[in-house]
Amino acid sequence: DTGVSQDPRHKITKRGQNVTFRCDPISEHNRLYWYRQTLGQGPEFLTYFQNEAQLEKSRLLSDRFSAERPKGSFSTLEIQRTEQGDSAMYLCASTRTENTEAFFGQGTRLTVV
């Protein structure tokens, strides 16, 4: 499979714990995006990378959230001290360049109990 892959697919964690998600984009894609989606809503932009540089961060991305793409390939999204409001689907997408189709992974569904 040469699409965007995300790991894990599901994560259940207790409030206050830290979680980390991984995204492997399509190999030749320079841009990588993180989105969050809650039930019945469209995906909300969190942040994106151009190669290893994090170029934009949404106001939704609190200090508890951090994302990295150290070698310009895979990316990780970490949430520290999780809260119940963090429960959502976290989606990763990649594109070759700006204004080209973004391909999404299957997402990581986070449940904070």
Partner 1 sequence: GESVGLHLPTLSVQEGDNSIINCAYSNSASDYFIWYKQESGKGPQFIIDIRSNMDKRQGQRVTVLLNKTVKHLSLQIAATQPGDSAVYFCAENGDYGGSQGNLIFGKGTKLSVKP
| Residues engaged in binding partner 1 (CB under 8 A) | 4, 31, 33, 35, 40-45, 48, 50, 55-56, 58, 91, 93, 98-99, 101-107
Q: Is 16 left (phi over 0), alpha (psi -120 to 50) or beta?
A: left
Nearer to partner 1, 42 or 70 (CB): 42
CB of 26 to partner 1, least distance (A): 12
CB of 48 to partner 1, least distance (A): 5
Closest CA to 77 of 41, 40, 42, 107: 107
Nearer to partner 1, 52 or 56 (CB): 56
Q: Per-residue b/e over 1-40, b at no fewer than 16 CB within 10 Å?
A: eeebbbeeeebebeeeeebebebbbbeebebbbbbbbeee
Nearer to partner 1, 88 or 102 (CB): 102
CB of 22 to partner 1, least distance (A): 15
